[in-house]
Copies of this chain bind each other. A is one copy, B any other.
Amino acid sequence: MPSYPHIDYPNFSFEVTHQLKSGARLGRLTTPHGIIETPNYIFCGTKASIKSLSPVQMREAKTDIILANAYHLMIQPGADLIHEMGGLHNFMQWDGPMLTDSGGFQVFSMGNPSCIDEIKGTNRKKGDSLLKITEEGAEFRSYLDGRKLMLNPEISMDIQRKLGADLIVQMDECTPYQVTKEYTAKSMEMSMRWGDRSLTAFEKAHDGKQGLYGVVQGGVYEDLRTQSAAYVASRPFFGTAIGGCLGGDDEEMYGILEWCRPYSHPNRPVHFLGIGRIKDVFKSVPYGIDTFDCVMPTRIARHGHALMKGVSSEKINLLNAKYKNDPEPLDPSLDIPASRDYSKAYLHHLFKAGELLAYQIVTQHNVAVINKLMREVRDAIKHDTLNQLEKEWIPD
């Protein structure tokens, strides 16, 4: 007998409003903090802040939804404090839909740094803070003060309930690339048991304000991926998240999406965890991906990279000497000062001079570009012109 509760999500809904033969679809995701059209992009506000941008500036860039990371917030300032301050929405003054992850990804990334290139939002040496993974959960050390902490499905649900985001994610183990199929299978089975524990813990405190996503694991193995997708579909999760190791190259990653698709619940929103280059968006929406998240747009901004439509590398490097006296703005078609008013020469100067304003301007520009991308992708799904749009964004 499976041990998981029945769960309703009275304040949530996901409606597929249009679907192409290719599999790409338009949707409408309703949360207590608003409705978003899908496909859409969830921007990373790791420590309850989009790096260098205010919520007002995120809205100016036409952002619909953001996320924060349970792992960072449990360490600082702590979930109880955020709960006392009225939850994440009130704490950071974002009034739209929001997602938190389980914290598991960051904990396991620290122990297994090889699957994903970088640990989101921390600068610690890799591999030195995960202490132990057992059936119970994961023991690790705080990157701040070294104290021992535990993360398990019940604790993650409790933390995410206190944070109060609309969309939350079950705790899973994120397996690295180089482990054996046997390890991946065992890990996936534990993630399933953790999924049931997450559902049980979630249901106990459920007040209708949060929707829980299950996570599809199974690494690079077709039979495991399909088994995991079928498990998530069989349980009363609100949404499906695709996570874990996605292979060594793009083709392998998109192949994994193809395996998961037929076994995933057709009427639930599908989130692609941590993936979100412009190319990934075009390649993934035909597999029914509804939402993306990635630190890329905000992180590369701080290194001087501005996203660009119509550039095969997706971006330009403002530190390049050729922009030194370039009087043109980043993209005058975007109706925000960041993209419209400042010359590339000025931005080149700001980066050279280490001026903080550079981060703000280019981050807001990159967010605006991705939101424009998502609007155009939705429009292209409506008119079945995705291939054409992809060529406009990423010419050969």
Q: Once bound together, how far apart are the Cα atoms of A130 and B167, in whole Å?
A: 59
For A49, the chain B residues whose CB sits under 8 A away are: 350, 353, 355-357
Q: Once bound together, how far apart are the Cα atoms of A49 and B358, in whole Å?
A: 9
Whether the pair B360, A51 counts as a contact (CB closer than 8 A) is no
How many residues in A have their beta carbons less than 8 Å from beta carbons of B?
40
Q: Considering the complex, which residues of chain A in the window 53-107 have a beta carbon less than 8 Å from any beta carbon of chain B?
A: 53-54, 56, 72, 76-77, 81, 84-86, 91-93
Mark the stretch among A18-26, A182-190, A340-348, A381-389 that contacts chain B: A340-348
Residue in B81, B92, B324, B357 whose beta carbon sits within 8 Å of that of A54 in the complex? B357
Q: Given contacts A93-B341, A346-B91, is CB(A76)–CB(B353) below 8 Å?
A: yes
Whether the pair B52, A343 counts as a contact (CB closer than 8 A) is no
Say yes or no for A367: interface residue by CB 8 A criterion. no
Q: Given contacts A81-B345, A93-B342, A346-B91, is CB(A47)–CB(B337) below 8 Å?
A: no
Say yes or no for A361: interface residue by CB 8 A criterion. yes
Q: Once bound together, how far apart are the Cα atoms of A346 and B355, in whole Å?
A: 24
Closest-by-CB residue of B relative to A345 is B85
Whether the pair A352, B85 counts as a contact (CB closer than 8 A) is no
Whether the pair B346, A92 counts as a contact (CB closer than 8 A) is yes
Q: Given contacts A77-B352, A324-B81, A327-B85, is CB(A360)–CB(B48) below 8 Å?
A: no
A interface residues (Cβ-Cβ under 8 A, vs B): 47-54, 56, 72, 76-77, 81, 84-86, 91-93, 324-325, 327, 337-338, 341-343, 345-346, 348-350, 352-353, 355-357, 359-361
